[in-house]
Amino acid sequence: MENNINKTTDKAFPKIIFIILLLLSIHFWDLKFFPKMFNLQNLIVWLACGFCMIMLMWQKKKMHFQKAIYLFLIGLLFNVIASYVNLDQSPKQSLLSYSFYYFIVLYFFLTYMEFDRKFLEKTILTFGIIYTIIFTVQYILYPQSILNRDVNRAYGEIQLEILGHGFLMLSYFLVLNRFMINKRIINAILMGIFMLVLLRSGFRTLVGGALVGSAFMFLRMFRFRGGDIAIVVLVILLFVGLLQIKSVSSTIDSMIGKTQTEMKLGDRFNRIVDVEFFFTKYPRNISYFIIGGGKASGENISKFDKYALGQNYNIVWVDIGLLGFYIVIGGIATFGLLWYTLKAIFTRLPRDMFYLNFYFFYLLIVSFTNEEIYRNGIFSVHAIGLYLIDIAINERSIPKDSAMPPGSVSSGLTLQK
C-alpha cells in the first residue's frame, strides 16, 4: 500500500507543478487578490521550461513543433536588435516586453513530463469554467473592477479583456467536439455557456470566427444520420434561445450597428488607416519587413516617427492583427508562428480531437483584424494544444500491438464514452 501511495504522489507532483506554472503564466487571471510580481512569476515559468527544453536536447522524443517554436523565439531575439536600432530601447527592456510570448515554451515542459491527454483536457475545461466565472462576476460588478487594471469600455459598452481567454475558446471547441460524438446534454449546456460569455464580451471578430469555426466543424463531422440531424436542430434552438436573452440581443444589435457605421467610413476606417501607416510611413528601411521595427515598451509605446505624427491619434498595431505583428515583431517570428499554426490546422487527427484543428483555424481567421493569436496569455494555450496534437501524431505512428506510451490518445478515449 505504501508503494501505491508513493506512486500516486510521484504522478501527482509534476501535475501540481504544471498547474502552478500555468497559473503563473496567466498571472492568476490578473485578479486583484494576487500580488503583482509579474517579472518573478514569469522568471519561474521560463526557468522551469527552459530546463526541460535543454534536457530534451539529449532525449529522443518526437516533437513535431519544436523547429517552428525555435524559429519564433529566434525571431524575437532579432526583434530585440530592431528595438535597439529603431527605438533606442535597451535589450533588457525589449526582452521583458515579450514576457507573455515566451510561454510557448510550456510545450517543452509538457513534452518532458509526458502528461496524458485526459489530465490536460480536464485542465482545459477547468480553466475555461474558471474564466467563465471570473468574467461573469466582473460583468455583474462593472464598473467596479476585480482585476489589477481598469475594465475596458469601447463605443459605450463593456468589452472585458481578461487573461486566460484562450481557455474559454479551446474549451468551447472541446465540448462542441464531444457533443458531436456523444450527444450528451452537459456538453451542449457548456457549449451554450461558453458562447454566451463570448457574445457578452462584445468582440465581433471573435464571435464571427467562433461561428465560422463551428460551422466548418459541423460540416467536417456531420453524417446524414438521425442523431446528427437532431444535433443540428438542438444547436440551432440553443442559439435562438441565446438570442432571446435581452443582454445578448442588445450586444448583437450593437455589433451590427458598429459594423454599419464603420462601413460608411470607407478609407477613414481606423484599420485601413493603420495598414496604410504601418506599411507606408512606419518602415524606415527593408529590415522592418524581416526583423520588424521593434516592440515598443514603456515610454516608447507612444513614440512615433515625427513624419507620422498627426496622421491618426489611435494608430495601434494590434488592431491589424497578424499584419501588425509582422511589421512590428518581424517576418521571422511571424513565419514561426504561422508555421506551427498551419501545421496544427492541417495535421490529421482522430475524430475526437478535431477540436484542436478548428481551434487553431479559429485563431488564424480572427487574427487579421484582431490580436487573438498573440494576445497576452494565449501562448500557454498554444503550448497545450500543440502538445496534444503531438500525442495524437505519436500514437498514430505506433503499431497497434505495441504498448501504449504515456499520454497516448487511448488514455483519453474514456472521456468520449
pLDDT of the residue at 325: 96
Check: CB of residue 46 under 8 Å from CB of residue 105: yes
Cell of 20: 502552478
Q: Does the pLDDT at position 219 exceed 90?
A: no
pLDDT of the residue at 337: 98
Confidence class for position 253, pLDDT limits 50, 70, 90:
low
User: How many whole angstroms separate alpha carbon 162 and alpha carbon 159?
Assistant: 10
Calculate mean pLDDT across residues 350-362.
97
**Residue 39 vs residue 104, higher pLDDT:** 104
Which residues on adjacent β-strands are paired with residue 36?
none
Q: Does the pLDDT at position 210 exceed 90?
A: yes
What is the rounded (10 degree) CA torsion for 413, 355, 382, 55?
30
Calculate mean pLDDT across residues 315-320.
84
Which residue matches cell numbers 451542449? 188
Q: Is 153 helix (H, G, I), strand (E, B) or coil?
A: strand
Torsional sign, CA 163, 18, 329, 65: negative
Q: Does the pLDDT at position 251 exceed 50?
A: yes
User: How many whole angstroms separate alpha carbon 2 and alpha carbon 210?
Assistant: 49
Calculate mean pLDDT across residues 354-361.
98
**Residue 335 vs residue 224, higher pLDDT:** 335
How many CB atoms within 10 Å of residue 28? 17
Where does 26-144 have alpha helices with state H?
Answer: 38-56, 66-87, 91-97, 106-113, 117-141
Check: CB of residue 107 under 8 Å from CB of residue 386: yes
Confidence class for position 33, pLDDT limits 50, 70, 90:
confident
- Which residue spans within 346-403 are E strands per DSSP? none
Provide φ and ψ at 271, rounded to 5°.
-70, -30
Calculate mean pLDDT across residues 177-201.
90
Q: Does the pLDDT at position 111 exceed 60?
A: yes
What's the Cα-to-Cα distance from 77 to each of 292, 326, 332, 410, rounded to whole Å? Answer: 11, 14, 10, 39
Long-range pairs of 263-270 with CB within 8 A, sequence gap ≥ 24: 270/312, 270/314, 270/319
Least confident of 123-127, 203-207, 209-213: 203-207
pLDDT of the residue at 26: 93
Q: Is 317 helix (H, G, I), strand (E, B) or coil?
A: helix
Q: Does the pLDDT at position 414 exceed 50?
A: no
Check: CB of residue 288 under 8 Å from CB of residue 327: yes
DSSP state of 158: E
Calculate mean pLDDT across residues 370-394.
96
Which residue matches cell numbers 479559429? 362
pLDDT digit string, tens, across residues 289-315: 999 999 988 777 766 554 554 554 456
Q: Tell me the range of 86-95, 194-203, 308-317, 373-382 where mean pLDDT is highest.
A: 373-382
- What percentage of the chain exceeds 70 in pLDDT? 76
Nearest Cα residue to 382 out of 168, 106, 15, 21: 106
Long-range pairs of 94-98 with CB within 8 A, sequence gap ≥ 24: 94/294, 94/295, 94/297, 96/39, 96/297, 97/295, 97/296, 97/297, 98/295
pLDDT digit string, tens, across residues 35-66: 776 678 888 999 999 999 999 988 878 899 99
Check: CB of residue 358 under 8 Å from CB of residue 213: yes
User: How many whole angstroms separate alpha carbon 133 and alpha carbon 404?
Assistant: 37
Cell of 384: 497545450
Calculate mean pLDDT across residues 343-350.
96
pLDDT of the residue at 404: 47
Confidence class for position 180, pLDDT limits 50, 70, 90:
confident
- What percentage of the chain exceeds 90 in pLDDT? 52
pLDDT of the residue at 277: 87
Q: How would you label 350-368 residue by residue, b for 16+ Cβ within 10 Å and e otherwise?
A: eebbbbbbbbbbbbbbbbe
Least confident of 28-37, 177-186, 207-216, 226-235: 226-235
Instruction: Write the single-letter amino acid at 216.
Output: F
Which is it for strands 157-158 and 153-154: parallel, antiparallel or unpaired?
antiparallel
Confidence class for position 11, pLDDT limits 50, 70, 90:
confident
Cell of 71: 524559429
